Amino acid sequence: MMRAALAAGIAGSVALAGAGSAAAVGTADRAAATRAAGWLATEPPSSMPAGQQADVMVAMRITGRRAASLRPRLRALSRSGPAYATGAGEAAKVVMGALAAGGNPSRLGGVNYVARIRRDSRSPGRYGATAFDQGLSMLALRAATGRVPASATRTLLRLRSGPGWNLGLTTTGGPDVDSTALSVVALRAAGQRCTSAPIRAAQRWMARQRSGGGWSAYPGTGPSANSTALVARADLACGASATSALRVIRRLQQRSGAIRYTTAEPESRLLATSESVPALAGVSLARGLRPD
């Protein structure tokens, strides 16, 4: 699947830096986020690849788990991270997971994952090969350093495909929902205004792709939790309400707290659930986090 989880980490005791939008989500959404994180917490660290481990750590932390409770997962991430994080996008996920558990991503298990993001730069401001590499890298750099390089913003804006972005970050071939939503969040992390022409064009285009109340990465199919959550997170990044999108996600939640990919297919419930938690919690990860 061409989707990855978004997240931004925190070191030690933290407070959201205006990252939440209480008016954008309701009590039922926040309760669903807590239930989803509870299900994620039952998945043992030893059973997860590094990328999913990092996603789960962020989802658990933003729903109120203490950083200290994530230390067993941090130890597992420090062991599996080096072999996994060979590119910018993978390194970015490790950075965010480490920060969520109060770790230092510049020296986690003797590895500097922030440097690994920067090392996988094909040109100034271009990280990795895909829109997810670029978007996750921008979010991770914001979380770890407090800023996104201006060259990354210029690169992302230059590589628009019509009104949005596509997975390969090419200017031809047309946009897709997932890549466009993540790119909007990344631009917001870099300080791009919601009133800017690129973000407004992307939001209008995404609104037209809605089907069955939600969004899908594949035109003509029913809404998926993953794509719907990404669009909701783009809305939250601009302070907009995501109420109806979150209702779609809640309908996909099982009694256990896990969230299915679609009504017909569970696919990776781990991925669908960890991607949905930030949106359900009403947290915009675009603004990063700051120490208390």
Query: Per-residue pLDDT tens for 157-171?
Result: 999 999 999 999 999
Q: What is the DSSP letter of 79?
A: H
Measured CA to CA in angstroms, residue 27 lies from 6, 22, 205, 260 at distances of: 22, 10, 29, 21
pLDDT in tens, 228-253: 999 999 999 999 989 999 999 999 99
Q: Which of 14-18, 202-206, 209-213 has the lowest mean pLDDT?
A: 14-18
**Angle 178-180-181 (CA atoms, 0-180°, nearest 5)?**
65
Query: How many whole angstroms separate alpha carbon 161 and alpha carbon 67?
Result: 39
Taking residues 101-119, report their average pLDDT. Answer: 97
- The whole-number pLDDT of residue 266 equals 87
User: Strand locations in the chain, DSSP E?
Assistant: 14-16, 121-123, 126-127, 289-291
Torsion sign (Cα): 228, 208, 240, 132: positive
pLDDT at 134 > cutoff 60? yes
Mean pLDDT of the chain: 90
Q: How does residue 288 score in pLDDT terms, banded at 50, 70 and 90?
A: low
Taking residues 78-85, report their average pLDDT. Answer: 97
- The whole-number pLDDT of residue 25 equals 81
Question: Contact, 102 vs 62, CB < 8 A?
Answer: no
Taking residues 111-126, report their average pLDDT. Answer: 95
Could you give phi then psi for residue 214, rounded to 5 degrees? -135, -155
What percentage of residues in the chain have a pLDDT greater than 90? 83
- The whole-number pLDDT of residue 122 equals 82
- The whole-number pLDDT of residue 24 equals 66
pLDDT at 68 > cutoff 50? yes
Question: Contact, 99 vs 143, CB < 8 A?
Answer: yes
Question: Contact, 92 vs 4, CB < 8 A?
Answer: no
Q: Which CATH architecture has domain 20-291?
A: Alpha/alpha barrel (1.50)
pLDDT at 90 > cutoff 90? yes
pLDDT at 172 > cutoff 80? yes
Torsion sign (Cα): 179, 227, 181, 81: negative
- The whole-number pLDDT of residue 289 equals 45
pLDDT at 222 > cutoff 80? yes
pLDDT at 265 > cutoff 70? yes
